[in-house]
Structure 1
Amino acid sequence: MTKIESIIKALNLSPHPEGGYFKETYRSVGEIKEESLGAEYKGSRNYSTCIYFLLTSDSFSVFHRIKQDEIWHFYDGSPIRLHVITPEGHYSNHIIGADVLAGELPQFVVAGGCWFAAEVPDEEAYSLVGCTVSPGFSFEDFDLRPRKELITLFPHQKEVICKLTHS
């Protein structure tokens, strides 16, 4: 069994729809009622949720977005490159990792409404991170679009969209 397989087994991770493997580790008991969340939300949301998320150099997390802010936390393995496109179409990328002296960030916040994707740039490597979402994650807030539609929205970001989406 490889180290990656051992981590997947030890943490009881499952395939994630956007790529990689995950397990929800926390969902607050308390909830924010719909009337306090704003018009874009339908129904209540937990205060916060958290997952383990594992990516390998053989896979990537495709461009998607959620309504909430998402905090990425680095735990183990190689750094991860997080690609972000704002609703206005501005692109940035960020290295989430442990080597802060080399400019890596142990945490990074993706603002709600931004499109984002992630990859492990090192060959034959993995990255184990955590993602905390507040208000808590719900698949009702998850937006995954086809490549062609994202290119129509952001034609000037075609290269990175093609790299980090499936046809």
Structure 2
Amino acid sequence: MVAKEIIKHFQLQEHPEGGFYKETYRSDIIAKSKNLANEFDGDRNLCTSILFLLTSEKFSAFHKIKQDEIWHFYKGTTLKLHLISPEGNYSFQLIGTNFNLGEIPQFTVPAHWYFAAEVLQQNSFSFVGCTVSPGFDFRDFTLPSCKELVKEFPQHQSIIKKLTHH
């Protein structure tokens, strides 16, 4: 299957951060706001998950959420996940199945870390899943402009400029 077939088969839609997605699970169990950290505004579903596809032309721009996010690799080529910690430390993780090259099939992005993702191989795609708990809510999502993120982390200006949409 190629990217266009996967997008059509799973009825993926464009995501604001880039790429294509479809929510596949939203827990019926509700975590009440009084039982969550103060940073959460309102109740949340206990857990959510999505299918997510990136292409060499469509990257996932730097963003952050208030929860940990677990990435699961399904198909395609290596995905490079770029990370900036709240303290400003940059790192990356290769997501894929070339284990002898340091790739791993599952990785957890810590809450409050900025992250972006790109497909390394030209004319290719990465098909992954993402799981969030407490469940994803756009109230927990921050998609900064290039200018805002460079102001916060000027030492990472070049990668930020490469992986932001505006």
**Gap regions ≥5 residues in structure 1:** none
Written as runs of structure 1 = structure 2, the 5 A alignment for 1:50-89 is: 50-89=49-88
Q: State how far apart, in whole Å, the 1-side matches of 2:63 and 2:44 are.
A: 20
Q: State how far apart, in whole Å, the 1-side matches of 2:70 and 2:117 are.
A: 13
Q: What TM-score, normalized by structure 2, do the two folds share?
A: 0.98
Instruction: Kindly state the Cα deviation for residue 165 of structure 1 after the two structures are TM-superposed.
Output: 0.5
Look up the match of 1:39.
38
Q: State how far apart, in whole Å, the 1-side matches of 2:18 and 2:165 are.
A: 10
Instruction: Kindly state the Cα deviation for residue 58 of structure 1 after the two structures are TM-superposed.
Output: 0.7
> Aligned AA for 1:39?
N
> Aligned AA for 1:119?
E
Q: State how far apart, in whole Å, the 1-side matches of 2:101 and 2:120 are.
A: 16
Partner secondary structure for residue 35 of structure 1: helix
Instruction: Kindly state the Cα deviation for residue 5 of structure 1 after the two structures are TM-superposed.
Output: 1.1
Q: State how far apart, in whole Å, the 2-side matches of 1:30 and 1:38 are.
A: 17
Look up the match of 1:137.
136
Look up the match of 1:4.
3
Q: How many residues align?
A: 166
Instruction: Kindly state the Cα deviation for residue 3 of structure 1 after the two structures are TM-superposed.
Output: 1.9
**Gap regions ≥5 residues in structure 2:** none
Instruction: Kindly state the Cα deviation for residue 102 of structure 1 after the two structures are TM-superposed.
Output: 2.1
> Aligned AA for 1:3?
V
**CA offsets per residue over residues 88-139 of structure 1, 9 Å max, x none?**
1000011000122221010000000000000001010000000000110000
Partner secondary structure for residue 161 of structure 1: helix
Look up the match of 1:123.
122
CA-atom RMSD in angstroms: 0.9
Would you identify which runs of 4 or more consecutive aligned residues in structure 1 move more than 2 Å? none
Q: State how far apart, in whole Å, the 2-side matches of 1:16 and 1:155 are.
A: 26
> Aligned AA for 2:6?
I
